[in-house]
Structure 1
Amino acid sequence: MKRTLVRYRNTAFGRFVYRNQKYAPILFFMGGFIFDTLTLGRIDRVYDTVVLCSHMTLLSITLFLYNTVDEDKWEGTFIRRYSEYFPLAIQFFFGALSSAFVIYFFRSVSMSKTLFFFILLVLLLFANEFLKRKISNKYLQFSIYFFISFTFFAFMIPTLIKEMNTFIFIISGLISLGCTLALITFIFRSSPGTRAEISLKKLISLILSIYITINVFYYFNLIPPVPLAMDAGLVAHDVRKINNEYIVTYERNPWYIFWRKHHVTFHRQAGQRVYVFTSVFAPTDLKKSIFHRWKRYNPETGKWEVTDDIDFEVAGGRDRGFRGYTYKNNLREGQWKVEVITEEELILGIVDFEIKNTSQPHKGGMVKRSF
């Protein structure tokens, strides 16, 4: 192994990497994120499941070895010889898992209050790349480990058992908490060096505070309801189902607005319905009732008022998402939004728009699209 490393360092590529090693974390970050983006797709795919479970398992093993490598039992073994690479391995697994969750959460997050949790994940991803020297801090190690572990089980358990609700989220958190505390206790008992370096009570208190914080986030709907994700959501003039395809007609955006499909101003003619169409991704065999909560902004009170909750069920497995729509008649002019929510009132996404009454068709034209 050492000879291989020496030969590698003497190559042109090896010398280039050595000269530019200060940029290596950024390059590996970009490469890892691009790799995950290209290879990870559905959380319920066998490939994705195997990759995530492998990363989580190897992270746990590496964390144990890194914190016990100075013990006499590893003397003369290959584990001791290559222990200098353990921090890099830990950082790699932290980065791989956090980038994967960023990719999955990006599908689920709406531009609403759940965006806060998504930003937190992104910050964790960047922090992992730029805090390499802090990885030896055991409080930081296990804090990040628990956060990633909680996120891992919150994704994986609903996917495996084909069910998602508040009880499952609580169970996922408890399993993560139990696994993390078991690993910490095992390391603490196995390593005199660890016992001398940290206070077990302080570390457990830190883990419990993170556990409580995540549950508070969940209670206040600050966490997207993964593994569900809203693939598409738009306000439309017409929705028709033909041969298991939904033909959606909506107003065309100006050419320079490329980040949103539908026009935010709905030009409504007399007697016309207002449709809201959504496509929701769900893992295979996972069934869930989804609600469209219609809200109108009341300028007199300055508050959003709920007008209707209309439900429909999604069943998982379809790559392009499971589709549904609701509609209303005789809507007043003004600001409207439709929240796409679960039974637990966790927000999948928001479709917001403004209704303006008009006697003429929309001058920008219409788009017909199949979903």
Structure 2
Amino acid sequence: MLQNALQNSVVQKIRKFFPAAAFFGGFTWDSITLGKLVQTTDLAILLLYYVASLVFLLLLAAEPGKFLNRAWNEKWQNRFTYAVQFCFGSLFSALVVCYFKSSGSLGAFFLVALLAVFLVANEFLQQSYAKFEFSLALFNLLGTMYLNFLIPHLVNGIGFFWFLVSVAMSFGICFGAFKLSRRSKRALIAPAVISGMLLIAYLANWIAPVPLVLKDQNACTGFSKDYTCYVDENDFLGGLSVYLGFSPTLSIAEGEGVTFVSAVFAPAKVETQLEHRWYHQNAKTGKYELLNTITSARMTTRGSREEGFRIYTTKKNVPEGKWKVETAAKGGSVIGSKTFYVQKISENAPKRVLWKIR
């Protein structure tokens, strides 16, 4: 009976998804627990995958009299498509992790989710990779996202200009592959559309500001220059609610200000100016309204402190209610955010405890 059940057509179809489901489940855990730093060797390995995928893509494009003066038999074509599948899967895997760690907004998470969908779908696209136009389109997407991660390590900076360079370089390489393949101009339509959509996504702050990673953040009061300050003590249930993502409270005395502290990791020589965006929730509409964007020269990342470069901003005359502060690249994408409730100190207010950012 068990054997008959396993041979059922529906079960057989479901079983095909087991490897991908197991892989994606393990990968999700790895994305959360992965190491803190990206080494030069990691960048070199990803570059190897990128170059290898280009080589195999060109080999798949071979046609008699047009490229390499030969066509591959079905056996070799299958080998090349498996190679493309492996290289693409490795790149998607690394990019999902890198962009996930730098995402601090819904739009950025949407892009990570899209990359994750392609990562899972990659397990089933081996035959599709035999189509040059399809492979070229995905290669352009991977190239742009990889170069956008690689270039900041090389030029020691991030910003729209360098993202534009990433888009131009990736599309230029795709154009070169297209010229060598001598395929129809239709092969460039999808890469061109993808490049345009990625530029729009960047301008909309949907592209995570890689390689910046938020390490720690909190709202507190009584801030000292040794990066210590006071937060409300949480009992077990309160601490559990904060751990699950619910907003903590911060009790302040009359006339006392609120300080927001962040720690942002950046590679050793990458310098970029950061900012804090202070939002207050409108009690009537329930929407957050931007009140202040605070930045300064001292909020420029320096060094490669593993726990992150520490910045802080202080706001006085803070009314009660729900607040949100975003840590972001100046004028760019959000690296992380935190919501909290401000309340006046009362007899029932939680006890204050000393806190220090890592």
Structure 1 residue 260 displacement after superposition: 5.6
Secondary structure of 2:325's counterpart equals strand
Paired residue for 1:177, among 171, 175, 178? 171
1:252-291 to structure 2, matched below 5 A, reads 252-253=233-234, 254-257=238-241, 259=243, 263-291=247-275
Distance 1:329 1:40, change over 3 A: closer
1:222 to 206, 217, 224: 206
Report the TM-score, using the length of structure 2 for normalisation. Answer: 0.82
CA distance in 2, matches of 1:120, 1:367: 41
Q: TM-score, normalised by structure 1?
A: 0.80
Q: Which range is displaced more, 232-241 or 282-291?
A: 232-241
Aligned to 2:4: none
Quote the RMSD (CA, aligned, Å).
Answer: 3.1
State the secondary structure of the residue aligned to 1:113.
Answer: helix
Secondary structure, counterpart of 2:240 in structure 1: coil
Local SS of the residue matching 1:327 = strand
Structure 1 match to 2:7:
none
Residues 288-367 of structure 1 correspond to what in structure 2 (within 5 A)?
288-300=272-284, 303-311=287-295, 312-360=299-347, 362-363=349-350, 366=353
How far, CA to CA, are the matches of 2:53 and 2:185 in structure 1?
23
Confirm or deny: 8 A CA contact 1:26 1:129 kept in the other structure: no
Aligned residue among 225, 231, 249 for 1:250: 231
The one-letter amino acid paired with 1:356 is Q
User: CA–CA distance in 1 between the matches of 2:109 and 2:60?
Assistant: 34
* 1:236-255 deviation per Cα after TM superposition (whole angstroms, max 9, x unaligned): 2344343xxx3354334524
User: In 1, distance between residues paired with 2:344 and 2:323?
Assistant: 13
The 5 Å alignment of 1:106-125 reads: 106-125=100-119
Equivalent pair of 2:233/2:350 in contact (CA under 8 Å): no
Instruction: State how far apart, in whole Å, the 1-side matches of 2:196 and 2:218 are.
Output: 36
Hey, what's the Cα distance between the residues in 1 that align with 2:225 and 2:232?
Answer: 19
Q: Is residue 234–residue 261 contact of structure 1 (8 Å, CA) maintained in 2? A: no
Match for residue 42 of structure 1? 37
2:120 counterpart SS class = helix
Match of 2:127 in 1: 133
1:3 counterpart residue number: none
Q: Aligned with 1:55: secondary structure?
A: helix
Aligned runs of 1:233-248 on 2, under 5 Å?
A: 233-242=217-226, 246-248=227-229
Aligned to 1:4: none
Distance 1:261 1:362 in 2: 21
Higher mean C-alpha deviation, range 252-261 or range 51-60? 252-261
In structure 2, the partner of 1:163 is 157
Decide which moves more: 345-354 or 33-42: 33-42
Deviation track 1:306-358 (CA, whole Å, cap 9, x = no partner) reads 32222122124222110111111221011211122222332222222221223
**Which stretches of structure 1, 4 residues or longer, exceed 4 Å deviation after superposition?**
20-41, 69-77, 79-83, 260-263, 300-303
Shift in alpha-carbon separation, 1:39–1:325, aligned structure 2, 3 A:
closer
CA contact (8 A) 2:64 2:71 kept: no
Distance 1:367 1:114 in 2: 33
How many residue pairs get matched? 337
1:208 counterpart = 2:202: no
Q: 2:201 & 2:307 partners in 1: Cα distance?
A: 29
Change (3 A) 1:33 1:66: farther
Matches of 1:313 and 1:22, distance apart in 2? 46
Residue type matched to 2:47 in 1?
A: C
Identity %: 25
Specify whether residues 339 and 206 from structure 1 end up closer, same or farther in structure 2 by C-alpha distance, changes over 3 A only: same
| Stretch moving more, 313-322 or 212-221 | 313-322
Q: How far apart in 1 are the matches of 2:26 and 2:292?
A: 46
Kept in 2, the 8 Å contact 1:239–1:248? The answer is: yes
Alpha-carbon separation, structure 1, partners of 2:134 and 2:142: 12
Structure 2: stretches of 5+ with no match in the other structure: 1-14
Deviation string, structure 1 residues 38-70 (Cα, Å, up to 9, x no partner): 876534x21111111111111111111222287
Deviates most, 330-339 or 247-256: 247-256
Unmatched segments (≥5 aa) in structure 1 = 1-19, 189-194
Distance 1:277 1:113 in 2: 24
| Candidates 231, 234, 243, aligned match of 2:215 | 231
The equivalent of 1:9 in structure 2 is none
What is the deviation of 1:214? 0.6
The one-letter code of the counterpart of 1:202 is R
**Counterpart amino acid of 1:274?**
V
